[in-house]
RNA sequence: GUGGGUGUAGCUCAGUGGUAGAGCACUGGAUUGUGGCUCCAGGUGUCGCGGGUUCAAUUCCCGUCACUCACCCCA
């Protein structure tokens, strides 16, 4: 092969794009009902934005960013996630001074230089939502419920909602030292990886998959029990709201995320069946009440999530797409081809999708192809039809044919496409 | 970044130290202009890439790249 695609970056061909369209439009449809508006931010941002928001010592920033240098010392990075850029856009455009409450969504490619595997690629696609300016737990619950609704709507029913709270900065600091104190005497029981994290980021030990770490952590203090004051109120408010909605959830005190900006509510939606293996996190998010301020803006509470579209496509049952009906035009001979060209234009002008087979093949091959494409109708135009100013209209599913005068064509075809059922799959 | 598996036709895969096959798909014909079945015919491959051993390598050896699964991490 002369040129291979860049590792972990894939082409999406027309055959597959239909599933993407349906997923994306379902997302837009659902979030629009909650009054989210789309924001499109650049794929490139200053590296510093991601370092500051995601966190200097996170894996994403330390080793997974596509970063390159520009002249005069500028460093740019291809966005590894959407929250940082959205927050930057929120500040850049001084949105907080125009409206007190903002709901945004985004949809598009993200880039991380990881080792690709099933459901994880270097260029991948995320859809996400951000709410700025709402501190209360109601919006947390609303967002989780919206996500469940969305997954049901795209045919993913086996999802579990996992939630946790890591409190605000003060609570996190308290818990951090309690956890370190608890783990330090047991350092020998931990995996090497967890041991190295003990001092740098002890919370991450909680969601280690290593059996030794899991065992050591079972008796660890729970952050939920240490929540106080407003942190506790918020957490309890969230549970109350979820209960009121009847949204099922799992409290997972070990749930911790890999990005530094989170505070209080943390959540994850996981696929519980299907073939995703270890990459079963379909959606992750939480609050990041301190982020906007830390980027130099006003103190603005915020909450958001991102979901991986590739994974959702893997998790969603492969429902065959309902193709928009169309017809194939099969001309026989030079003069019929010229007539067909004009006929096709007139049909298209009437809003009908037409596949003009102008290769000059045999009628049989054109009909075979029309079948293979699952066209509803095939219009045959030969010399005798041209002479009489008609076309032969074949209903490919019903094996019937009728002659239609050229003048009646667009209207007649429109009617037939609306009423003729699609040929059954595999027939 | 670490470890395992796999690279042969468009796809799924067989196979051999003497430069290669099947099924599906595709094209044509049987049916001078009427389809999904059937039958017949046809074409396609730098056998991932580079090097080594050999009279001879797609086959054996080494390296490398890609894909893939898992770890890690995350969506």
Cα–Cα distance, A39 to A102 (Å, whole number): 11
DSSP label at A120? B
Bases in strand B with any atom closer than 7 Å to a protein CB? 1-3, 25-29, 31-36, 46, 48, 65-75
DSSP symbol at A159: E
Q: CA A389 – C1' B73 distance (Å)?
A: 67
Distance in angstroms (rounded) separating the CA atoms of residues A220 and A227: 15
> Of residues 354 to 373 in chain A, which lie within 7 A of strand B by their beta carbon?
361-365, 367-372
**Dist. CA A404–CA A393, nearest whole Å:** 7
Q: Assess whether A203 (CB) lies less than 7 A from strand B.
A: no
Using one digit for the tens of pLDDT, what is the confidence trace for A365-384?
A: 899 889 888 888 999 999 88
Angle at A82 between CA A99 and CA A172, to 5 degrees: 85
Report the range of poorest mean pLDDT among A145-149, A162-166, A417-421, A423-427: A423-427
The C1' atom of B35 and the CA atom of A293 lie apart, in whole Å, by 67
> How far, in Å, is the CA of A193 from the C1' of nucleotide B64?
31
Q: Which of A 248-307 have CB under 7 A of nucleic chain B?
A: 257-259, 268, 277-279, 281-284, 306-307
Q: What is the location of CATH 3.30.930.10 in chain A? A: 14-167+227-315
Q: Is the CB of A13 under 7 A from strand B?
A: no
CB atoms within 10 A of CB A310: 19
What's the rounded Cα separation, in Å, for the pair A411 and A368? 26
Residue A222 has pLDDT above 50, yes or no: yes
pLDDT of residue A320: 57
Q: pLDDT: is A278 or A290 the higher one?
A: A290
Q: Residue range A96-123: average pLDDT? A: 94
What CA–CA distance (Å, rounded) separates A294 from A56? 14
pLDDT bin (cut points 50, 70, 90) of residue A228 is: very high
ipTM of the complex: 0.83
Residue range A51-100, pLDDT digits in tens = 999 988 888 998 899 998 999 999 999 999 999 999 999 999 999 999 99
The answer to whether the CB of A107 falls within 8 A of the CB of A24 is yes
- DSSP summary character for residue A373: T
Residues A183-204 have a mean pLDDT of: 82
Say yes or no to pLDDT of A186 above 60: yes
Q: A260 and A55 in contact (C-beta within 8 Å)? A: yes
Is the pLDDT reported for residue A4 higher than 80?
no
The region, left, alpha or beta by phi > 0 then psi within -120 to 50, assigned to residue A414 is alpha
Q: The tokens of A344 are what?
A: 């096709």
Tokens of A174: 């308290």
| Residue pLDDT, tens place only, A238-269 | 999 999 999 999 999 888 887 778 899 999 99
The class of domain A14-167+227-315 in CATH terms is: alpha beta
Is the distance between the Cβ of A120 and the closest atom of strand B smaller than 7 Å?
Answer: yes
**Is the model's pLDDT at A323 over the cut of 80?**
no
Mean pLDDT of A296-323: 86
Say if CB A253 and CB A223 are below 8 A apart. yes
- A271 bridge partner residues: A159
User: Domain A326-418 in CATH: superfamily?
Assistant: Anticodon-binding domain (3.40.50.800)
């Amino acid at each position: 092969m002369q040129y291979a695609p860049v590792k972990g970056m894939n082409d999406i061909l027309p055959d597959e794009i239909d599933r993407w369209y349906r997923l994306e439009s379902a997302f837009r449809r659902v979030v629009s009902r909650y009054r989210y508006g789309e924001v499109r931010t650049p794929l490139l941002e200053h590296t510093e934005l991601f370092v500051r928001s995601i966190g200097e010592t996170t894996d994403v920033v330390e080793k997974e960013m596509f970063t390159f240098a520009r002249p005069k010392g500028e460093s740019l990075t291809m966005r590894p996630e959407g929250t940082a850029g959205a927050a930057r856009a929120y500040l850049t455009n001084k949105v907080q001074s125009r409206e007190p409450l903002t709901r945004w969504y985004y949809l598009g490619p993200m880039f991380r230089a990881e080792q690709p595997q099933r459901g994880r690629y270097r260029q991948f696609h995320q859809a996400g939502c951000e709410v700025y300016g709402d501190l209360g737990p109601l919006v947390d619950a609303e967002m989780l419920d919206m996500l469940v609704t969305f997954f049901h709507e795209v045919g993913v029913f086996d999802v579990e909602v996992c939630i946790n709270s890591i409190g605000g900065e003060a609570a996190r600091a308290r818990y951090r030292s309690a956890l370190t104190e608890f783990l330090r005497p047991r350092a020998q029981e931990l995996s090497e990886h967890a041991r190295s994290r003990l001092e740098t980021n002890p919370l991450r030990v909680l969601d280690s998959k290593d059996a030794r770490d899991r065992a050591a952590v079972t008796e660890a203090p729970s952050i939920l029990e240490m929540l106080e004051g407003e942190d506790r109120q918020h957490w309890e408010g969230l549970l109350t709201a979820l209960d009121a909605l009847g949204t099922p959830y799992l409290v997972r005190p070990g749930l911790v995320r890999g990005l530094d900006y989170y505070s209080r509510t943390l959540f994850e939606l996981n696929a519980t069946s299907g073939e995703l293996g270890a990459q079963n996190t379909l959606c992750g998010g939480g609050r990041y009440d301190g982020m906007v301020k830390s980027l130099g803006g006003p103190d603005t509470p915020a909450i958001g999530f991102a979901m991986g579209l590739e994974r959702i496509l893997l998790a969603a049952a492969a429902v065959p797409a309902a193709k928009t009906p169309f017809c194939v035009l099969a001309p026989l001979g030079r003069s019929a081809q010229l007539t067909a060209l004009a006929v096709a234009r007139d049909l298209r002008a009437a809003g009908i999708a037409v596949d003009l087979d102008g290769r000059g093949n045999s009628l049989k091959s054109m009909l075979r192809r029309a079948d293979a494409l699952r066209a509803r109708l095939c219009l045959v135009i030969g010399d005798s039809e041209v002479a009489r100013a008609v076309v032969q209209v074949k209903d490919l599913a019903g094996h019937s044919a009728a002659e239609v005068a050229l003048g009646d064509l667009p209207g007649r075809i429109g009617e037939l496409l609306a009423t003729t059922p699609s040929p059954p799959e595999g027939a």
